[in-house]
């Protein structure tokens, strides 16, 4: 699942090619918007809010999309063949005289008044890469549920927006905290949340997500997707499990020696 830095970078690029331009073509391949045509409408800006994408138009409407597990927006110079996937996976097309922005496999795509954006993103906590980032508020929200595991609290977008399973696993390893540790037993909570923002900031302009400082394949993470492989610090095999509320379980990775259980 794309994390906040990936979504932020995608929206930066979309904003570069769409903002300040009028649409020469719009197409929505979802039943709810099949008859909608935004041709001729200007694009004011494209921004991210956590893992959400907001396309704001000059007619007072906003297109809200979300990648979930494998959605993506791809940008092509006008006239170039689209190569992001088979045609049946295309859910949206926004084109200008210079570029085509093509949305693939988007599970969330809806049009709403810009003034009503809070109905889809108002529940989110401070955005790790947004102008509203507030370390104190993010820590306060997490600490408000002291019995909850820190692993679950970090993925709750109502606490802080933009963090996913990659950064959760890496953050907890870097701080020696087991994913199931209750929030009330975490002494360095503020430092963990502060580092979350620093890691996303460091990776936001590059396609490779790395917490080790090494961008080579297979060397970018300490524990994430390294189940059974030796810990880079102590050599203990990395462990993994899925946990979380029913229907919202997420894969977690940790080192049993560096991150002893609660």
27 is a catalytic site residue: no
User: Is 262 annotated as catalytic?
Assistant: no
Of residues 44, 51, 168, 226, which has the active-site annotation? 51
Dist CA 156 CA 179 (whole Å):
14
Half-sphere exposure at residue 248, Cβ-oriented, CA atoms within 13 angstroms: 9
**Which residues partner with 75 through β-bridges?**
101
**52-57, strands of its sheet edge to edge:** 43-49, 52-57, 61-66, 108-113
Sign of the torsion angle spanned by Cα atoms 230, 182, 131, 105: positive
- For 253, the token pair is 């990775």
* Catalytic (active site) residue 113: no
2 in active site? yes
Cα 153 to Cα 47, 102, 164, distances in angstroms = 25, 33, 11
Q: Active-site residues: which are they? A: 2-3, 51, 250
């Amino acid at each position: 699942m794309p994390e906040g830095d990936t979504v932020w970078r995608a929206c930066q690029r979309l904003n570069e090619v769409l903002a300040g331009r009028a649409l020469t073509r719009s197409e929505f391949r979802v039943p709810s918007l099949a008859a909608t045509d935004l041709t001729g409408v200007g694009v004011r800006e494209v921004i991210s809010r956590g893992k959400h994408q907001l396309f704001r138009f000059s007619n007072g409407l906003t297109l809200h999309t979300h990648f979930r597990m494998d959605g993506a927006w791809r940008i092509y110079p006008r006239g170039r063949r689209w190569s992001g996937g088979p045609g049946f996976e295309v859910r949206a097309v926004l084109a200008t005289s210079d570029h085509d922005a093509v949305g693939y496999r988007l599970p969330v795509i809806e049009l709403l008044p810009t003034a009503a954006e809070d109905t889809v993103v108002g529940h989110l906590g401070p955005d790790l890469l947004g102008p509203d980032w507030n370390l104190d508020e993010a820590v306060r929200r997490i600490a408000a549920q002291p019995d909850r595991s820190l692993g679950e609290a970090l993925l709750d977008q109502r606490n802080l927006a933009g963090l996913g399973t990659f950064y959760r696993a890496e953050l907890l390893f870097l701080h020696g905290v087991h994913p199931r540790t209750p929030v009330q037993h975490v002494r360095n909570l503020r430092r963990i949340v502060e580092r979350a923002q620093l890691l996303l900031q460091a990776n936001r302009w590059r396609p490779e997500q790395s917490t080790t400082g090494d961008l080579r394949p297979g060397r970018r993470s300490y524990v994430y997707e390294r189940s059974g492989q030796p810990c880079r610090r102590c050599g203990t095999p990395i462990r993994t499990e899925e946990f979380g509320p029913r229907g919202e379980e997420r894969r977690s990775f940790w080192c049993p020696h560096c991150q002893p259980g609660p």
